[in-house]
Amino acid sequence: MAEENNIYIGRQPILDKNYNIVAYELLFRSSEKNYFPGIEDFTATAHVVYSVLSSVNFECLAGSKKLFINFSRDLLVEGIPELLPPSKVVVEILEDVELDKELIDACKSLVMQGYSLALDDFFIKPGIEQLLKISSIIKVDWRATSLDEIKTLLSRLKDFRHLKFLAEKVETLKEVEIAHDLGFDYYQGYFFYKPEVIRSKEASVNRWTYIELLEQLQKPNLDWADLERIISKDAVLSYKLLRFVNSPHIGLRNKISSLKQACIILGIDKIKKWLSMMLLAQATGKKNSIILINAFIRAKFCEGIGHIVYKNEEFPDMLFLTGLLSLLDVIFGSPMEELLDPLHLDSRVSECLLKQKGPLAPFLVMAIAYERGNFDIVNKLAKHFSISSESITNCYLEAIKEAQAILEQNL
């Protein structure tokens, strides 16, 4: 039996100074070692670009935003980026490319056709001025570049006034603030997944969810499926529902394993009263909205993989709830243990969220690894579950598709 070529396609948000998502970097890997056995990286990357063209809808991956895609020297010279629409793609030029006339001519041709160029993991080297003149964005790796080196770099590039600067791999709010003070225009990294980002005591639900709920409340017969669908979009609203269903006057006896179960326990009358009360809250801030979208993607991804691995509905429902609640500590700025304490969750959900253990944990680990582009971990878990990379990628793209519809409502 031939060895499967594992292709994983993911993305990472790129934000502006106001924490708006302006683009995504496309992440892809072909295997644990990032290449197909027996063939060069050029062929592997070209294969992935072809896969994106033939089977992945750009609107699904990026919506109205642009995609940053890395291209090696050979791919640039061969004109591979020209297969992708210039209105949707920013061509990232890797830091180790050989700066000869052939490469420069290829890049000039791309710019003439309307493509934007970004220089990845940038550093000064001989001949780079030719690329600086035609590029739009400079990406600086904050993990590989000291603060003094960054300041020196910005000073040396001050005359290239057309350039925008992107701080890549920023992982703390402090780093983002420093980058902002230095004049960086864009940010990319895991800083939004740290509890230090959000420090408010009360998180709010997004306004579009309220509008949908308000519409449901006007119906004479409340539809359970629509109700669960709307509530499940929002981690904050889901958490508040679970808090309510566990309040003393409800008298809950059973542990909760899904949002549907919580809704049924409450019943139509209590749900209507509770939702009416919740409609008084304010809209979600931009920082929280990005995290909420990511929590929803995790939830749908975990649920999708659960449907492949398990044939019953119980585990996929628990997996959805687990993924949706997995960023509560970031949203509320409080320890996960403190947030889960008032809830009467199924022990398997709590064990996963608090200890990263139990039958649900591998699914959440896979979701987090996928969103961060750690596809070696994804591949190992795929082998553990005996599922194909195609199935995993399809689950991720489907999760993005549903989340994109929420995001395009201007959360």
Choose between 238 and 201: higher pLDDT: 238
**b/e code 384-395 from CB counts within 10 Å (16+ = b):** ebebebeebbbb
Mean per-residue pLDDT for 36-50?
50
Mean per-residue pLDDT for 181-207?
69
Element holding 270 (H helix, E strand):
helix 259-278
For residue 134, give the nearest of 73, 93, 187 by alpha carbon. 93
Q: Is the pLDDT of residue 326 over 70?
A: yes
Q: Is the pLDDT of residue 127 over 60?
A: yes
Q: Work out the pLDDT band at 1, boundaries 50, 70, 90.
A: very low
CB atoms within 10 A of CB 52: 19
CATH code for the domain defined by 8-193: 3.20.20.450
Q: Work out the pLDDT band at 183, boundaries 50, 70, 90.
A: very high
This prediction has a pTM of: 0.74
For residue 253, give the nearest of 344, 318, 350 by alpha carbon. 344
Q: In this predicted structure, what is the pLDDT of residue 88?
A: 87
195 contacts: CB under 8 Å, gap ≥ 6: 329, 330, 333, 334, 335
For residue 320, give the nearest of 370, 405, 261 by alpha carbon. 261
Domain residue ranges of the chain, discontinuous segments joined by +: 8-193, 197-411
Q: Are 166 and 14 in contact (CB under 8 A)?
A: yes
CB atoms within 10 A of CB 410: 10
Separation CA 401–CA 395 (nearest Å): 10
Q: Work out the pLDDT band at 342, boundaries 50, 70, 90.
A: confident
Q: In this predicted structure, what is the pLDDT of residue 81?
A: 87
In angstroms, the first-to-last Cα distance of the chain is: 47
Separation CA 242–CA 234 (nearest Å): 12
Phi, psi of 48 (to 5 degrees): -70, -45
Choose between 167 and 199: higher pLDDT: 167
Single-letter amino acid code for the residue at 287: K
Q: Is the pLDDT of residue 407 over 70?
A: no
Least confident of 33-37, 237-241, 326-330: 33-37
SS3 content of the chain, % helix, strand, coil (to 5): 55, 10, 35
What are the tens digits of pLDDT across the range 59-73? 677 778 888 988 888
Q: In this predicted structure, what is the pLDDT of residue 46?
A: 60
Separation CA 10–CA 318 (nearest Å): 24
Separation CA 119–CA 316 (nearest Å): 42
Mean per-residue pLDDT for 217-240?
78
Please state, for a pLDDT cut of 90, what percent of the chain lies above it: 33
The label of the residue with tokens 């294969």 reads 47
Q: In this predicted structure, what is the pLDDT of residue 284?
A: 44
Q: Is the pLDDT of residue 121 over 50?
A: yes
The answer as to CATH 1.10.3720.10 being correct for domain 197-411 is no
Q: Work out the pLDDT band at 309, boundaries 50, 70, 90.
A: very high
What SS3 state is found at 259?
A: helix
Q: Is the pLDDT of residue 54 over 80?
A: no
Q: In this predicted structure, what is the pLDDT of residue 174?
A: 86
Q: Are 81 and 89 in contact (CB under 8 A)?
A: yes
Please state, for a pLDDT cut of 70, what percent of the chain lies above it: 76
Q: In this predicted structure, what is the pLDDT of residue 4?
A: 52
What are the tens digits of pLDDT across the range 28-39? 765 444 433 333
Q: Which of 89-98, 150-159, 243-252, 276-285 has the highest mean pLDDT?
A: 150-159
Beta strands in 153-241 (DSSP E): 164-168, 186-188
What SS3 state is found at 386?
A: coil
CB atoms within 10 A of CB 216: 18
Pairing of β 21-29 and β 8-16? antiparallel
Choose between 185 and 87: higher pLDDT: 185
The label of the residue with tokens 């990628």 reads 393
Mean per-residue pLDDT for 127-143?
92
Q: In this predicted structure, what is the pLDDT of residue 280?
A: 43
Mean per-residue pLDDT for 83-87?
85
Separation CA 288–CA 283 (nearest Å): 10
Choose between 216 and 107: higher pLDDT: 107
Going from the C-alpha of 106 to that of each of 99, 100, 135, 164, the distances in angstroms are 11, 10, 13, 22
Separation CA 398–CA 379 (nearest Å): 19
Mean per-residue pLDDT for 395-399?
91
Separation CA 305–CA 322 (nearest Å): 13
Measured in whole angstroms, the distance separating CA 283 from the mean position of its chain's CA atoms is 21
The label of the residue with tokens 């320890």 reads 335
Mean per-residue pLDDT for 188-211?
60
Q: In this predicted structure, what is the pLDDT of residue 270?
A: 74
Tokens of 322: 């687990």
Q: Is the pLDDT of residue 411 over 50?
A: no
